[in-house]
Structure 1
């Protein structure tokens, strides 16, 4: 079982969280179409650390960024997700 240290609720079981996607696959409404397609379909799939978007659905309901190793599942950090504000 993977234990996730929520910054709001403390250590919780992975079952309380929902994985959404990696941060590099998030597209914005003002993004050019070719960049959005590249982010969604032509991304790399690294074997090391990656930043992922998760939601604590059975707890504080906050969106969180987990920096997690893709092979070992070791979680290096958990922070609040702050979306980029369009200009």
Structure 2
């Protein structure tokens, strides 16, 4: 599978480590009243969808960036690749 890195261009997926669901970017607020329940859901509750899914990938053998890859889990077709920092910025998670 080829991942088209936004900064470095096409790279083999062997350079990357799959890190799970891209929802991990949206870490719960540790100060919220129900923080424990939110962190349990955050750490242990995972979807296993068939079809389009947003995933977090780490470019371990490259520039060490995190990417959000949207791909079809049944065909491995990649629809989009974004820097995770850009996704977090859009979601208001970082300044």
TM-score range, shorter chain: 0.7 to 0.9
Alpha-carbon contact 1:25-1:43 (below 8 Å) kept: no
Q: Which residue of 2 aligns with 1:3?
A: 2
Cα displacement (A) at 1:25? 4.2
TM-score (structure 1 length as normaliser): 0.81
- Equivalent position SS for 2:76: coil
Distance 2:57 2:10 in 1: 15
TM-score (structure 2 length as normaliser): 0.75
Unmatched 5+ residue regions in structure 2?
A: none
Alpha-carbon contact 1:19-1:55 (below 8 Å) kept: yes
CA RMSD of aligned residues (A): 2.1
Q: Which residue of 2 aligns with 1:43?
A: 46
Cα displacement (A) at 1:73? 1.0
Q: Which residue of 2 aligns with 1:13?
A: 12
Cα displacement (A) at 1:28? 3.8
Alpha-carbon contact 1:9-1:59 (below 8 Å) kept: no
Structure 1 position 73 matched with structure 2 position 72: no
User: Across the two proteins, how many residue pairs are aligned to each other?
Assistant: 85
Alpha-carbon contact 2:68-2:81 (below 8 Å) kept: yes
